[in-house]
């Protein structure tokens, strides 16, 4: 389940809905389970939109091992999620799409552990299936007849696009607040191309093609993750991060992420 606002998250926590699961246990905060013990209670993870498919799968795997653990994911643009956390949104874990965004949370003293990089991601050019506009590289995106979507520069995918586009004059028709929104413009036929993460193009391979371009190598994003200060369920939060960095690596690699 993809949630966009903390108000929505709060409602879901109260009603026990979310994360694609319907077996939320009573209680909510869980216990500080010793190593090897089954985890219980609620776990709320704020994560970059580009992690949606991978974290949904990791969450399902972790919950299968811990049936009394209820995981809720709040996906969105990393910058917006960081703002929510700094304004007091209750959450256990934050996974951002860039160290700079994570720093806006850590520098405010809102992380309980030092952020660690668990994956890396790279941009591609998302185009309609079959690449009808014959786009082969960044220079093609400057063709006047083409409509191009980018992420806003304030969010990690936009910052990466700005770096990759250095020296290229490009006027996008829209600037989106997260990578999923930019990709949706291509899937809906509203634009001819968008710069998105390789993982997002791969997750939508039935609808789009991902065109690799060499300049993306200069704009690879590191993804850090951390337990948050005042996490309601710190034991589950630490276990989730450990799972992501161990068993979860196979899921992330399969989705197209690179190892840290």
The string of DSSP letters for 71-98 reads EEEEEE-HHHHHHHHHTT---SEEE-SS
Burial of 22 by CB count in 10 Å (0-12 exposed, 13-18 middle, 19+ buried)?
A: exposed
CA angle 179, 141, 202 (to 5 degrees): 40
Q: Are 245 and 116 in contact (CB under 8 A)?
A: yes
Per-residue CA distances from 106 to 50, 96, 149, 192, 207 (Å): 21, 12, 31, 38, 37
**Which residue ranges make up the annotated binding site?**
50, 78, 179, 197
**Which residue ranges make up the annotated binding site for molybdate?**
50, 78, 179, 197
Per-residue b/e over 25-48, b at no fewer than 16 CB within 10 Å? eeeebbeebeeeeebbbbbbbbbb
CA end-to-end distance (rounded Å), the chain: 27
- Whole-angstrom distance, CA of residue 230 vs CA of residue 29: 11
């Amino acid at each position: 389940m993809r949630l966009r606002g903390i108000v929505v998250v709060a409602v879901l926590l109260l009603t026990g809905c979310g994360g694609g699961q319907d077996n939320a246990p009573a209680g909510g905060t869980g216990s500080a389970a010793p190593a090897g013990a089954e985890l219980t209670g609620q776990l709320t993870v704020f994560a970059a939109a580009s992690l949606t498919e991978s974290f949904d799968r990791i969450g399902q795997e972790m919950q299968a091992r811990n049936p009394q653990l209820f995981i809720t994911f709040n996906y969105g643009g990393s910058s917006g999620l960081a703002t929510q956390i700094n304004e007091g949104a209750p959450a256990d874990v934050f996974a951002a799409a860039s160290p700079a965004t994570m720093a806006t949370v850590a520098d405010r003293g809102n992380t309980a552990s030092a952020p660690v990089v668990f994956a890396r991601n790279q941009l591609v050019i998302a185009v309609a299936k079959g690449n009808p506009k014959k786009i082969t590289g960044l220079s093609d995106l400057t063709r006047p007849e083409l409509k191009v979507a980018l992420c806003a520069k304030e969010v990690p995918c936009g910052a990466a696009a700005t770096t990759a586009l250095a020296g290229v004059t490009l006027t996008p028709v829209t600037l989106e607040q997260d990578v999923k929104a930019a990709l949706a413009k291509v899937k809906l036929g509203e634009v001819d191309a968008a710069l998105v993460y390789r993982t997002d193009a791969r997750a939508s391979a039935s609808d789009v093609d991902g065109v690799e371009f060499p300049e993306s190598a200069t704009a690879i994003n590191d993804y850090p993750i951390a337990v948050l200060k005042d996490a309601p369920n710190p034991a589950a939060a630490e276990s989730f991060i450990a799972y992501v960095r161990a068993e979860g690596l196979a899921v992330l690699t399969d989705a197209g992420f690179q190892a840290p």
